[in-house]
A and B are shown apart, each in its own frame.
Chain A
């Protein structure tokens, strides 16, 4: 009967492993370092520089050149504009720009009236617009009037009007009005309102 012998595993001390691997590790690291150093100093710069404007430029130099060109471009544009439009950046030009930013009053008025008409197409007198006050410097509009001829629903109609006005594209904000119902001998129950709206800039 044959007997099989399993080779006995000899345990090697860690110190011996380290001692034996020290030289190969050192040589490998040295060769790798030299190779990478050469690549970093000579190969990468050669591969990553670009010839622009007759000069070889690295990424950093390219970015600096790009920024310098942008500044130059902006200065030249400014200089050209100053020659072509001599009143460039003066109090006068700023005031003229303010004029351009104004909202056309009659367009504003007709937009608001159209909103009101769409709300009550059958009875054009339900919402009476007394006046429209436009303050261009504050970019705001004050709408004064009252809701009438709808009996006790006047405050509900006013709330509906508020919602409609809020949905207008050129209105950015509306302050909530005072919801009241008053009695008038001539027009009956009505809800006067003053709506202050901020316009989109």
Chain B
């Protein structure tokens, strides 16, 4: 009888101890979870809470800008895509236009005394491009020109295929302008869209008119400075100088604008017979849309 009571007492003690230790373990777990939750709040929630109102404000601004841009897009006539398909990356390389461009540029540079000689233009066979849906072919030409002539030819190759002011700017510059639009005047997105989609040749021939139109929507000195810095880049300056001069005029008169898309494949430059003169050998890649069988 005494043995049984002693045995019961031991079992009770063991059960109480086991339950006590288990509850302590669970308490420890709960304590660590609570501490982790508090730490999480300090390290995660606080920074998130400071970001969220900013994100919500930007989303609201972007929604307004999208609505405005959609309304404006509905009233826009003639798309850049159509011009690209006809002139920039056509179904077939338009040899007449291509040779016409080199003729116009060559004759103006000769008149200015900047070009001594231009070789025949040779055109390679089309090969599939690394860009899906396109074919490319190499155009080879050599010219003996003054440094200014070389610069003009290289700049024209850079402008070849660019349709708008937006194309003249790098993706980083365009992003910066749109960001500034959000910060300065979100409703100015239409003015910005109009500026970026301005035909490059038209802009180069009368840059002040288009810039003034844009600046009517943005008056802050900060925006003005960003825009001025961007428009002082060498590409924009060259566009104004070359396309805004005789060459741009002749390209427009001869209906050669927009130029077909050309990228530089290889350029070799060596000193010419006189100081400041060079022999420039160029391999240029031309593009056309691949024929789907």
- Are A29 and B21 neighbours in the complex by a CB distance under 8 Å? yes
Cβ–Cβ < 8 Å partners of A87 in chain B: 80-81, 84, 163, 167
Instruction: Check if B110 is an interface residue, CB within 8 A of chain A.
Output: no
Instruction: Check if B176 is an interface residue, CB within 8 A of chain A.
Output: no
- Are B23 and A30 neighbours in the complex by a CB distance under 8 Å? yes
Give Cα A105–Cα B278 distance, bound, in whole angstroms. Answer: 12
Cβ–Cβ < 8 Å partners of A28 in chain B: 20
The one of A40, A102, A137 in contact with B158, judged by C-beta atoms closer than 8 angstroms, is A102
Given A131-B269, A136-B263, answer yes or no on A59-B44 (Cβ-Cβ < 8 Å): yes
Least Cβ distance of A112 to chain B in Å? 11
Give Cα A70–Cα B55 distance, bound, in whole angstroms. Answer: 7
Instruction: Please encode chain B, from 1 to 42, with 1 for each CB lying within 8 Å of some chain A CB and 0 for all others.
Output: 000000001101100110111111011001101100110110
Give Cα A135–Cα B267 distance, bound, in whole angstroms. Answer: 7
| B270 and chain A: residue at smallest CB distance | A131
Q: Which of A163-193 contact B (CB under 8 A)?
A: none
- Are B27 and A59 neighbours in the complex by a CB distance under 8 Å? no
The one of B70, B89, B162 in contact with A83, judged by C-beta atoms closer than 8 angstroms, is B70
- Are A80 and B69 neighbours in the complex by a CB distance under 8 Å? yes
Cβ–Cβ < 8 Å partners of B63 in chain A: 76
Instruction: Check if A6 is an interface residue, CB within 8 A of chain B.
Output: no
- Are A85 and B30 neighbours in the complex by a CB distance under 8 Å? no
Cβ–Cβ < 8 Å partners of A79 in chain B: 62, 66
- Are B23 and A32 neighbours in the complex by a CB distance under 8 Å? yes
Number of B residues, CB within 8 Å of A? 82
Query: Taking chain B's interface residues, is the majority helix, strand, or loop, or is none over half, making it mixed?
Result: helix
Instruction: Check if B52 is an interface residue, CB within 8 A of chain A.
Output: yes
- Are A40 and B134 neighbours in the complex by a CB distance under 8 Å? no
Number of A-B contacts (CB under 8 A): 200
Cβ–Cβ < 8 Å partners of A81 in chain B: 178
- Are B56 and A36 neighbours in the complex by a CB distance under 8 Å? no
Instruction: Check if A56 is an interface residue, CB within 8 A of chain B.
Output: no
Least Cβ distance of B253 to chain A in Å? 25
**Size band of the interface chain A makes with B:** 35 or more
Give Cα A18–Cα B19 distance, bound, in whole angstroms. Answer: 13
Instruction: Check if B232 is an interface residue, CB within 8 A of chain A.
Output: no
Q: Which of B79-122 contact A (CB under 8 A)?
A: 79-81, 84, 88-89
Q: Which of A69-85 contact B (CB under 8 A)?
A: 69-70, 72-73, 76-77, 79-81, 83-85
Q: Which of A1-26 contact B (CB under 8 A)?
A: 15, 18-19, 22-23, 25-26
| A68 and chain B: residue at smallest CB distance | B55
Query: Taking chain A's interface residues, is the majority helix, strand, or loop, or is none over half, making it mixed?
Result: helix
- Are B131 and A130 neighbours in the complex by a CB distance under 8 Å? no
- Are A91 and B40 neighbours in the complex by a CB distance under 8 Å? no
* Interface residue ranges, A against B (CB under 8 Å): 15, 18-19, 22-23, 25-26, 28-30, 32-33, 36-37, 39-40, 44, 47-48, 50, 52-53, 59, 62-63, 65-66, 69-70, 72-73, 76-77, 79-81, 83-87, 91-92, 94-100, 102, 104-106, 109, 129-137
* 24 contacts across the A-B interface (CB closer than 8 A): A29-B24, A33-B30, A36-B27, A36-B31, A44-B34, A47-B38, A48-B38, A59-B41, A62-B52, A77-B62, A80-B65, A83-B70, A84-B178, A87-B84, A91-B129, A91-B133, A96-B162, A99-B162, A130-B270, A133-B266, A134-B264, A134-B268, A134-B269, A135-B265
* Interface residue ranges, B against A (CB under 8 Å): 9-10, 12-13, 16-17, 19-24, 26-27, 30-31, 33-34, 37-38, 40-41, 44-45, 48-49, 51-52, 55-56, 58-59, 62-63, 65-66, 69-70, 73, 79-81, 84, 88-89, 129, 131-134, 147, 150-151, 154, 158, 161-163, 166-167, 170-171, 174, 178, 189, 192-193, 196-197, 234-235, 261, 263-271, 287
